[in-house]
Chain A
Amino acid sequence: MVIGLSSGSVDKLVGTGVIMSGAAADDMDVEVYVLLTAARAFIKGNEDLTDSLVEYPHLKSEFFANMEKLAVPTWLEFFEQAKEFTDVKIYICSLAGKLWGGEKKEDFIDIVDGLCGIGQYIDAAKEADIHINI
């Protein structure tokens, strides 16, 4: 499975984590290509930011309250969990990284496997059985 993740909105990050978990339960290999605004969340120190719920800002407090009530893991916990279960690779688009001040792998949180160019994403999407764009 290949996921192109462009949104840095917390609900989209959580949604991506849920999909990755489902794929992990099926032993599917997953590659996540982190593009544009999504890269901001992967910069070291940004992983706990909750300032972004872009599409539905008026639902933000309800979203977080219900997440807590239902004991839903954070987006990062979902990503880490998926990595424990299956082969998950996370690549940051080099342009997206630069947009938020990340130029090297060390600038990003530990779950990131490396930086990539858009060509790598296109090739992976072309080869994948399932390609999801978020």
Chain B
Amino acid sequence: MNEQELKALEVNKSVDARGTACPGPLLEAKKAIGTIKSGDIMEVLSADEGTRVDIPKWCTKQGHEYLGTVEESGFFKIYMKKN
């Protein structure tokens, strides 16, 4: 998905993990995805560069769909769809 499509997504769950360093955002994502339904969209906000790589890989390994990442000022938003 391109940036415009990602920004237009209706998000079911937003996880603000900007206060934590690796592996905090990954664990927060794991915790939060257990609280949403299959097909729901979740975004994870992080300022940790390692997370930018880890969460997309984790999504694939866990069978969820990684939708893309949007760069914001000083942080980024990672979008995923729960399978």
Residues of A within 8 A of B (CB): 18, 21-22, 24-27, 70-73, 81, 85
Among B7-15, B18-26, B71-79, the stretch in contact with A: B18-26
Complex-state Cα separation, A19 to B31, whole angstroms: 17
Q: Is the CB–CB distance between B27 and A71 below 8 Å?
A: no
- A71 touches which one: B19, B22, B26 (CB < 8 A)? B19
Q: Judge if B37 is at the interface, Cβ distance under 8 Å.
A: no
Which chain A residue shows the least CB distance to B20?
A71
Asked if A24 contacts B21 (CB within 8 A), the reply is: no
- Decide: A70 and B26 in contact? CB cutoff 8 A: no
Residues of B within 8 A of A73 (CB): 24
Tell me which of B20, B23, B27 has the highest count of chain A C-beta atoms within 10 A of its own C-beta: B23
CB pair B27–A72 under 8 Å, yes or no, is: no
B80 CB, nearest partner CB in chain A, Å: 13
Question: Main SS of the interface on chain B?
Answer: helix
**Interface residues as binary, B1-44 with A (CB distance below 8 Å gives 1, 0 otherwise):** 00000000000000000011111101101110000000000000
| Contact A81-B27, Cβ < 8 Å, known A71-B19, A71-B20 | yes
What residues of chain A lie closer than 8 Å to B62, measured between beta carbons? 26-27
User: CA separation between A73 and B28, bound complex, in Å?
Assistant: 13
Task: Tell me the bound Cα distance from A122 to B58 in angstroms.
Answer: 30
8 Å CB contact of B23 from A18, A27, A70:
A18
Q: How far is the CA of A85 from the CA of B62 in the complex (A)?
A: 14
Contact in complex: B61, A26 (CB < 8 Å): yes
